[in-house]
Structure formats: C-alpha cells, structure tokens
C-alpha cells in the first residue's frame, strides 16, 4: 500500500487537536523557549503560499526545540483591528467585527491544514474587548508616567509633582497642562498627515510618497490636537540596546537610521537691528566660518518678524506657493530648489559679519530648530541653494573641488577660520563647541530624527482611547471600569463636521455626562505588547501574570517580514522598555533573536492568443456567398462594405492560442506575421479553403499575439492543461491550440502575487494535491529563508517523491517491514551524519539544506536496503519537525503510544563518523588533477613522498622540480611548480 497522505494527515491533525498535543504550560523544570511569528492581519483574500513560509520555519524550530527538551511556547493570533475591514464596512455597511470574524475563520481553516504546532488555547485577537481592555490599561499607565532624565527611565507621574514649583497652588487646568508636557501618552498639538479621503490621520510610516500606503489617497499636513506617545524620550535607549539583540543587520540599520542620532551644537545668532535671536542646530560647528547665509523653514515662527518691508510681498508670495505645494509635489521635484530672501541679516557670532536670512522649503520645521546655518562649501543642500541664488561659497575645510560639488567629508584641515585654522575637523569641532559654550551662544547637543508617535486615529475599527473630558480637562478612566467597549454607530464614516466615526455613537458619555475621546488607537497599539499576552491570554486581573512573564521572559525567536522594521518593531521595543521601567515585566527587549523571511513572489503564466480580422478581397458580386461563408464560420462576424469590398471583422473567434516559442520568435522577429498566419492555416486548413474559394484572408495589419495571464493552477512546469483551460472560462470552451512538441508551453514572468495576475497559489491546493508535509518541505526546499524568491511548483514532485521514498524505507512492497536486527556501521554512519547536519542546519536556520540532507540520507538508506529500527526510529524523529504527519504515523507503526513529539531528539554519535582514510585531491598550482587515497594515519611527509613517486605526478611535473609541496592532512595535496 502506497502512503496515503490524505488519510494520515487528516487523522493526525484531528488527534493533535483533541489531545492538545501542543499545549504549553508553565513548567519550570524544563528550559523555556518562546517561538513567535508576527501575527497576521486577517485579510479577506485568505492566505497565499507566501504567508506560511515564516510560519513553517518557526514551526520546525518550535518542534525541534520541543524534541530537544525545551518547554516551548508557540502561539498564534490575529491583529484584527485595521483599515481594510473598516473600508469594507463603509462600502457594504457590514460591521467590521463580522467580516473580521469571517476572515479569521478562513485563516484558521487554512492554517489548520498545514499542521502547525500552535497552542490554539492561547489565541489572541486584538479586537476582542478582553484583549483591548489591557491595551487600554497600558495606555493609562503611559498617561500616568513621565520620563525622568536623571534616572533615565519612566516613573509614575507622582514623582514629578514634587519637582514642580507651587504645584498645589495651580488651578486644575494649569496642573493638567503642565503634567501633559511630561506624560508619555499625551495630548499635544502636532503636524499630522491628514488624509481627507480616509477621514483619518496617518503615521509617517503609513504615508508613502505623499499618499496613504493603503488606498493611495492624497495626504496633507495639518496642525491638529492629537494623542501622542513620547517615544522620543527613549531614542537613546532604543539605539543603544540594538547592540544587545540578535536581529538582522538590515533591521538594526533601519532602526538606527530612523532614530537618526546626530551630535552637534546649538547656536544662537543675533539678528541685525533687532532683539530677535535665531537658534540653529548644526552637526558641523567646525565649519562656522563657512556660514554665508541662513535658511529658515517656511513654517518658522519668526518668518513674519524677520521679513523686511520691501521683501514682504515676495515672502508672502513664496509662502503661498509652498503652502499649496502638496507633500507629493515637494517630493516629486526635489531637485527644484526654491527660496526667498527675508530682507533680514543675522550677525556672525565670531566674525561679526552680516549674513542674509533666507526662507527655503528644504528646511523642515519639525527637525532641529527649523533653521540652519548654511555652509555651502560643505553641505550639498546648502550648496545647491547657494548655486541657485548666487550666494557666496566659502571653503573652510581643505580637500574637494567646490567648483563641482560640496565637500562633505568630515576630514581635512580647517582654513579661512580664524582661531580654528590648521586644526583637523575633529579637533576644531571640540574647540569651537567649547568656545560656543564659554560665550554662552549655545551648547553641544544631541539631536534625534525620531519624532513622537501620533496615537489617535479618526477611525472606527480600533481600540477606543480610555479618556473622557471634564471641563475640557482630559481624564483617564479608572482601571476597574475597563474595557471601554467600542460603541455601535449608524455609519462608519466621519460625521458631517469632520468628527471621527465614534462621535456618531448615541448617548455615549462617561457617567452619562462627560464626552469620551472619539479617536481610536492605531494599528500598532495592540501589536506592541501581544507577545506578553500569549503568556497568559485569559488573565482577567492583569495583562500578564508576574508568574507567567517571569517564566517566559521574552521571545527567543521572532520570525516576520522586514516591512515592519521601523513601525511595529520600534514601537514594541518602546512599550517593552516602558513596561520594564515601571516594573511590570522583567525584560526590556521583546525578542532576543529576530529573522526575516523573504517574500514569495508570484510566477505568472501566459497564453498567447492569435488576434486577427478576416478580410474578403472579392468585389461585391460575391457578397452573398462570402457573407454566408463568414456567418457559417464566425458567428460574431461584423460585416462592413466599403467601396465594393466586403470586410468581415472577426474578433477572437475561434480562440486560437500559440505556444510560447512561437510568441518568443514572433517578438524577436524570427517569425513574421505571414509566418504566424501560415502556421494557423496549416493547423486549420479551413482558413486555406476560404482563401482559395472566397479570397478570405487575414488582414495582416490586424494580426497580433496577445499575452494573457492564465491561472497558474492549471499549468504545470509551464505546460498548460488543455482540458482544464477549456473549462476555465466559458469563452475558451472551444479554444484551439498550436503546440510545440505536442505541448502547449506557457510564458512566464515573476511579479507580485495578486489576484488580478492569476498567479496566486493558495496553500490549500498544494495540501489537497500533495499533502501538508510536502508543502512544508517544499517551501523550505525553495531556498534560504531570508531571500525573496518566486513561487514555482516545478520542483514539488521531487519532494513528493522523497516522501514516498521515505515511506518505502519502512514499508517494502506496501507491507510494514521494519526489522529488529542490529544495524550495520554504514547505516548508522548515514543516520548520524544526517543528525549532525540537521542540528547544524536548524541552529543556523538553513532549512533548505536540511531538506537536501534528508533526501541524501533516504537515498543512501534505500541504496543500503536498510530497514532496521535502530536507524529508522531516530530518522522518524529528526524528520518530524519538518514532516510531522508522516513522522507521527511512522512512530505509531513503530509501536509507540505517545506522540512522536514526546520523544527525544537523537544525539549524533561522532564515533560512527570517524573516517580511517581520505581520498586526497592531488592538485598542481591549485588545479586538481587526480585522486589518491591515503590512510589518515599516514604522516604528511610520507604522503608527499608517495605522491611525488606516482607515475601521474611525473606526467604533470613535465620534468620540472616542484618549488613547494603542500599537504594539508585530510584536505588536499598541492604541488607548486
């Protein structure tokens, strides 16, 4: 009996579920291991083969760790608040909770088919009130905390109050306002990305090229009152602690860049004939003598006061222009330098020279002080501005060619700089900062690019912010009144006055009296702490129990996509540090190790349709006959008469498809339109008949081959399943094909996986056709986990064969045939070599090579006709993380009562691997020429001697005396000529 994957897999999945095989509990006897996947947003489209890639990898790792004696926590859940469900709700009126539920069910069904070892009892959903109760609770803790720069951690707001002078004597409103400037969750004014089409505010990382990431709607900058998170207080720690975590370098680099630490100095410039002072931040105080102008942002608060009377009109015009320029436009032409002179002059703090003050939109209001001291010689943006407006460029660092470009390197000797002349950049930097501080003009300073994160969204489908307003003063809800449940609304749209959807909720007031906050939390709120909730998902009295978090600590392995580098992965680090500061959890990083799985792209297939018009060349006397002929053949023919010539225009009927090679040759010019027509005529002689009898012919100008996406699920190895194609769509029912070598070969292209390109492959289909084990092995076999690669099923039969071969090791001629005989040395060697490799592979997440190693092992054992329990039992265990279903079935048949996942991963016995001899490659100048076997006990000198004495050696020596002979024992012999 051949292996029946359908029956076996279904049986085990049911049994694992009913036995709760993967249930994990706090068990302090065993070391813990927490393996986490980035949880999915349950979209309406369901899973495609790209999604499970990371899940399979983490599942293998989790199962492996379990067999290695770890107590493994491997949960799964859903990031179930989000915009798509809300937009669907707006379109259809269906409640997002409903569609979310449906989508989750679909995801679950698909996930279940793949045989993951998730502990489903720990499932979380961020949109569930029992979950978001605690998201709200954490918000309250953030609200009630401030960042103490002295202790360098978050503390209760209570420790701040004594530091504020006369706090008791202030009014309630004044107290609230002061504390609001320190709270880690605070209500503040901020420029936000307002998206009118979505009626919501978007985070920086949700805006791409000036349009919303989801939906692509335009976004404008607008000043609004917003709930925000003071993540910027954590900038330095978020940066420093990257050192201690084992994350991919690319993610760390993105985060470093995003945090954007820069060291420099603040510096105040006096303004001529004015009391005003202009403060700038610069990273190059050493170039202070190279300042030839200043530039301030159009939004700078001093713009009006600095503008002189005769520049007033010009400045106003400029401001009007930049205001109307959308973000998108500004980004589209970065090269277009714009600006205007204010008419004001600043005074150089050292030289006393006049420096013109300009306005330019390359200076951003939100960074530093919104003003720069422009050093055109040593900053490319200042350089471009100076060139545009003919401003002076003063070289102050030696090196570079200022005729061509700015010299930005921080190296060289300082020139033209008074007391700094002759110093190296580094030393000049120190000296000038000291001077600036001495004169009280400013001080050395560190700036961060990282901005506070806006937390409020003008949306319905998110966690309500647990805040109400009493006399205009925001108050958080008492903790015992959580959760603040999302109220029902009549529509999921903003109100007519532009209020968020929650403002529609009827009689939704705290104690029937006080207005609730109407914005909701962003998508990242729930995902910033979910790794903690999995530890204790049902806890009703705490977000996680001390016991659970003390045991599970943090994530040992986190697998997910790199697209979350600066969003989710930064926020979750921030919240973790905060919760740690406040003593709620013992860890300050969420994940010790993180790896990114690559994207699986789609591999589209194409068919090539022959498109033509038919044309009658005969004159009108033949009209009737010809027309009859046409009607008979082409039901949809359009008939037109033009100067006595009858034309039939026949559109795509019948459907004729040419195999890919013809298309390729047509495109590269090897086949002409005539050649294509002739091919069609050879295949379908009736076209020839028409030509001969009635003069019907193809109109050459209309001939083309149209490439059409074809459903990749009816194509195998680029060969089209003709019958399936005919049934695919009604209009292809009578399709005709021109084949090559008896097959219809489809074209292919790598594109993003998408429904419209017909290249989406659902894992369900693979499972249906080949089984879950095959899907799991194949996804791993495709290549290194981190690399992006196109999906193709070309190699899947190899994995299918492997599973069958594995089965046959245990079953000869369909009969269970494992013997109790003692295994031979060769057999044990094959097994132990494999154990060693698999352990190495898993530890370095090289899952593709481990599949190869299993294949090698099974091939070897098949060759040896090995059927010994001593070998086959450990083999089942080492393969079980990869192919759990078949392994479990083999385990049962081997006579075990308990699941294979209660077994122990075998240990490699090195003594089986010891080789007594080695087949040395003998090379000349590094080129291997022949082989020679030596016992490994033979000393170097002896090897050299014997090799030199060989006849073949003499041949390659060509009579010369070798300069040197290198013998690396167990590796190679190299003879240098």
Partner RNA sequence: GCCUUGGUGGUGGAAUGGUAGACACGCAGGACUUAAAAUCCUGUGGCAGCAAUGCCGUAAGGGUUCAAGUCCCUUCCGAGGUACCA
List of residues 6+ apart from 197 with CB closer than 8 A: 212, 215, 217, 218
Both tokens assigned to 299: 């939004």
CB of 364 to RNA, least distance (A): 4
Of 585-604, which residues contact RNA (CB under 7 A)? 599
User: What binding mask, one character per residue, do residues 777-816 give for RNA by CB under 7 A, x or -?
Assistant: ----xxxx--xxx--x-xx-xxx-xx-xx-----------
CB of 846 to RNA, least distance (A): 6
Please, which residue, 372 or 572, has the CB nearer to RNA?
372
Contact region with RNA (CB under 7 A), list: 163-171, 215-223, 486-494, 917-925: 917-925
Please, which residue, 667 or 976, has the CB nearer to RNA?
976
Please, which residue, 82 or 96, has the CB nearer to RNA?
82
Residues 374, 361: Cα–Cα separation, whole Å: 14
Q: Are 54 and 561 in contact (CB under 8 A)?
A: yes
Please, which residue, 108 or 387, has the CB nearer to RNA?
387
Q: Are 191 and 223 in contact (CB under 8 A)?
A: yes
Does 208 engage in binding with RNA (CB under 7 A)?
Answer: yes
φ, ψ for residue 188 (rounded to 5)? -140, 165
Per CB under 7 A, the list member of 123, 205, 627, 946 interacting with RNA is 205
Does 387 engage in binding with RNA (CB under 7 A)?
Answer: no
CA atoms 801, 803, 809, 810: torsion sign: negative
Does 363 engage in binding with RNA (CB under 7 A)?
Answer: yes
Please, which residue, 164 or 787, has the CB nearer to RNA?
787
Per CB under 7 A, the list member of 283, 588, 653, 762 interacting with RNA is 283
Please, which residue, 495 or 846, has the CB nearer to RNA?
846
Per CB under 7 A, the list member of 204, 495, 553, 691 interacting with RNA is 204
List of residues 6+ apart from 714 with CB closer than 8 A: 720, 721, 724, 725, 728
Contact region with RNA (CB under 7 A), list: 110-118, 130-138, 431-439, 968-976: 968-976
CB of 178 to RNA, least distance (A): 28
CB of 147 to RNA, least distance (A): 20
Tell me the HSE value of 643 on the side-chain side, using a 13 A CA sphere: 0
Contact region with RNA (CB under 7 A), list: 7-15, 358-366, 730-738, 893-901: 358-366
Residues 403, 383: Cα–Cα separation, whole Å: 10
CB of 748 to RNA, least distance (A): 10
Does 286 engage in binding with RNA (CB under 7 A)?
Answer: no
Other Cβ atoms within 10 Å of 938 Cβ, number: 16
Please, which residue, 327 or 623, has the CB nearer to RNA?
327
Identify the residue whose tokens are 């609770």: 137
Q: Quick one: which H or E segment has residue 675?
A: helix 673-683
Does 964 engage in binding with RNA (CB under 7 A)?
Answer: yes
β-pairing, 789-790 vs 747-751, is unpaired
Q: Are 125 and 77 in contact (CB under 8 A)?
A: yes
Edge to edge, the sheet with strand 917-924 lists 927-935, 917-924, 972-976, 964-968
Q: Bridge-partner residues for 935, per DSSP?
A: 917
Does 156 engage in binding with RNA (CB under 7 A)?
Answer: no
Residues 779, 790: Cα–Cα separation, whole Å: 11
Per CB under 7 A, the list member of 90, 856, 864, 894 interacting with RNA is 856
Q: Are 58 and 37 in contact (CB under 8 A)?
A: yes
Of 920-949, which residues contact RNA (CB under 7 A)? 921, 923, 925-929, 931
Q: Are 827 and 868 in contact (CB under 8 A)?
A: yes
Per CB under 7 A, the list member of 236, 274, 653, 846 interacting with RNA is 846
CB of 796 to RNA, least distance (A): 8
Nearest to 411 by CA among 394, 395, 399, 393: 399
Binding residues for RNA, total number by CB under 7 A: 83
CB of 527 to RNA, least distance (A): 17
Both tokens assigned to 51: 């999604």
Please, which residue, 470 or 805, has the CB nearer to RNA?
805
Does 367 engage in binding with RNA (CB under 7 A)?
Answer: yes
β-pairing, 339-347 vs 444-447, is unpaired
Does 848 engage in binding with RNA (CB under 7 A)?
Answer: yes
Per CB under 7 A, the list member of 35, 235, 441, 565 interacting with RNA is 565
Of 298-337, which residues contact RNA (CB under 7 A)? 330-331, 334
Does 370 engage in binding with RNA (CB under 7 A)?
Answer: yes
Residues 624, 618: Cα–Cα separation, whole Å: 11
Write the DSSP symbol of residue 32. Answer: E
Per CB under 7 A, the list member of 105, 159, 620, 717 interacting with RNA is 717
Residues 625, 489: Cα–Cα separation, whole Å: 69
Identify the residue whose tokens are 């979209």: 43
Please, which residue, 872 or 973, has the CB nearer to RNA?
973
CB of 855 to RNA, least distance (A): 4
Q: What 3-state class would DSSP assign to 780?
A: helix
Of 233-262, which residues contact RNA (CB under 7 A)? 248-250, 253-254, 257, 260, 262
Identify the residue whose tokens are 């369909």: 814
């Amino acid at each position: 009996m051949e292996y029946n994957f359908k029956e076996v897999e279904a049986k085990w999945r049911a049994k694992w579920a009913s036995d709760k095989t993967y249930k994990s509990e706090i068990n302090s006897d065993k070391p813990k291991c927490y393996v986490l996947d980035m949880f999915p947003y349950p979209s309406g489209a369901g899973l495609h083969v790209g999604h499970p890639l990371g899940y399979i990898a983490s599942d293998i790792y989790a199962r492996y760790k379990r067999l290695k004696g770890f107590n493994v926590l491997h949960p799964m859940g859903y990031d179930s608040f989000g915009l798509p469900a809300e937009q669907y709700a707006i379109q259809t009126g269906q409640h997002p909770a409903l569609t979310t539920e449906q989508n989750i069910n679909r995801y679950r069904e698909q996930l279940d088919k793949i045989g993951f070892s998730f502990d489903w009892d720990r499932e979380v959903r961020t949109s569930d009130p029992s979950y978001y109760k605690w998201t709200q609770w954490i918000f309250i803790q953030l609200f009630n905390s401030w960042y103490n720069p002295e202790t360098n951690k978050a503390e209760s707001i209570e420790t701040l109050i004594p530091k504020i002078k006369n706090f008791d004597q202030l009014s309630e409103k004044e107290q609230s306002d002061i504390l609001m400037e320190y709270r880690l969750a605070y209500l503040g004014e901020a420029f936000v990305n307002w998206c009118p089409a979505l009626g919501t505010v978007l985070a920086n990382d949700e805006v791409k090229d000036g349009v919303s990431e989801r939906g692509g709607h335009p976004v404008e900058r607008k000043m609004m009152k917003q709930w925000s998170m003071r993540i910027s207080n954590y900038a330095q720690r978020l940066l420093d602690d990257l050192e201690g975590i084992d994350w991919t370098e690319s993610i760390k680099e993105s985060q470093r860049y995003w945090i954007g630490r820069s060291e420099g100095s603040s510096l105040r410039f006096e303004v001529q004939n004015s009391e005003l002072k202009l403060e700038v931040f610069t990273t190059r105080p050493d170039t202070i003598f190279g300042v030839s102008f200043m530039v301030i942002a159009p939004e700078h608060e001093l713009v009006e006061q600095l503008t002189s009377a005769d520049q007033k009109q010009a400045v106003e015009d400029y401001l009007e222009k930049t205001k109307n320029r959308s973000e998108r436009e500004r980004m589209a032409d970065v090269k277009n330098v714009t600006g205007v002179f204010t008419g004001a002059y600043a005074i150089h703090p050292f030289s006393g020279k006049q420096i013109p003050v300009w306005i330019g939109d390359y200076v951003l209001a939100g960074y530093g002080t919104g003003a720069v001291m422009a050093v055109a010689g040593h900053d490319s943006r200042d350089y471009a501005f100076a060139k545009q407006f003919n401003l002076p460029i003063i070289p102050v660092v030696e090196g570079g060619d200022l005729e061509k470009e700015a010299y930005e390197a921080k190296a060289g000797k300082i020139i033209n700089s008074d007391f700094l002349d002759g110093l190296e950049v580094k030393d000049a930097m120190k000296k000038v900062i000291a001077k600036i501080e001495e004169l009280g003009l400013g001080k050395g300073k560190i700036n961060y690019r990282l901005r506070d994160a806006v937390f409020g969204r003008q949306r319905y489908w998110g966690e309500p912010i647990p805040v109400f307003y009493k006399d205009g003063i925001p108050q958080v809800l008492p903790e015992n009144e959580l959760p603040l449940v999302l109220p029902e609304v009549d529509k999921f749209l903003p109100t007519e006055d532009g209020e968020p959807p929650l403002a529609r909720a009827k009689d939704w007031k705290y104690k029937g009296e006080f207005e609730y906050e109407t914005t909701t939390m962003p998508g990242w709120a729930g995902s910033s702490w979910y790794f903690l909730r999995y530890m204790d998902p049902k806890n009703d009295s705490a977000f996680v129990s001390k016991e659970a978090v003390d045991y599970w600590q943090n994530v040992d392995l986190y697998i997910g996509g790199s697209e979350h580098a600066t969003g989710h992965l930064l926020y979750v680090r921030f919240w973790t540090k905060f919760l740690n500061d406040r003593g709620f959890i013992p860890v300050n990083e969420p994940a010790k190790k993180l790896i990114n799985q690559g994207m699986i792209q789609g591999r589209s297939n194409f068919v090539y349709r022959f498109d033509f018009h038919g044309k009658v060349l005969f004159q009108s006397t033949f009209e009737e006959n010809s027309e009859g002929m046409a009607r008979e053949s082409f039901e949809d023919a359009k008939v037109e008469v033009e100067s006595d010539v009858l034309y039939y225009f026949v559109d795509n009927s019948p459907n004729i498809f040419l195999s890919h090679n013809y298309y390729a040759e047509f495109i590269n010019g090897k086949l002409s339109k005539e050649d294509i027509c002739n091919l069609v005529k050879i295949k379908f002689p009736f076209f020839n008949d028409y030509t001969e009898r009635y003069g019907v012919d193809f109109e050459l100008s209309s001939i083309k081959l149209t490439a059409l996406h074809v459903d990749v699920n009816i194509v195998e190895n680029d060969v089209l399943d003709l019958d399936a194609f005919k049934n695919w769509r009604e209009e292809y029912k009578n399709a005709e094909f021109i084949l090559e070598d008896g097959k219809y070969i489809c074209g292919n292209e790598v594109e993003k996986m998408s429904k419209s390109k017909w290249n989406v492959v659902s894992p369900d289909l693979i499972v249906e056709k080949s089984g879950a084990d095959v899907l799991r092995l194949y996804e791993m076999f495709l290549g290194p986990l981190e690399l992006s690669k196109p999906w193709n099923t070309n190699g899947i039969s190899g994995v299918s064969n492997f599973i069958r071969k594995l089965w046959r090791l245990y079953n000869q001629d369909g009969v269970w045939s494992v013997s109790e005989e003692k295994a031979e040395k060769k057999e044990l060697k094959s097994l132990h070599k494999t154990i060693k490799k698999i352990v190495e592979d898993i530890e370095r997440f090289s899952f593709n090579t481990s599949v190869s190693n299993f294949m090698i092992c099974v091939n070897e054992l098949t060759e040896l006709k090995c059927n010994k329990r001593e070998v086959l039992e450990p083999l089942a265990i080492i393969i079980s993380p990869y192919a759990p279903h078949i392994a479990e079935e083999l385990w049962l048949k081997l006579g075990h009562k308990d699941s294979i996942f209660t077994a122990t991963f075998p240990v490699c016995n090195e003594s089986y691997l010891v080789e007594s001899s080695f087949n040395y490659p003998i090379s000349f100048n590094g080129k291997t020429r022949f082989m020679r076997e030596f016992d490994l006990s033979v000393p170097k000198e002896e090897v050299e001697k014997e090799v030199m004495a060989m006849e073949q050696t003499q041949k390659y020596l060509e009579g010369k005396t070798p300069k040197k002979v290198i013998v690396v024992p167990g590796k190679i012999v190299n003879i240098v000529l």
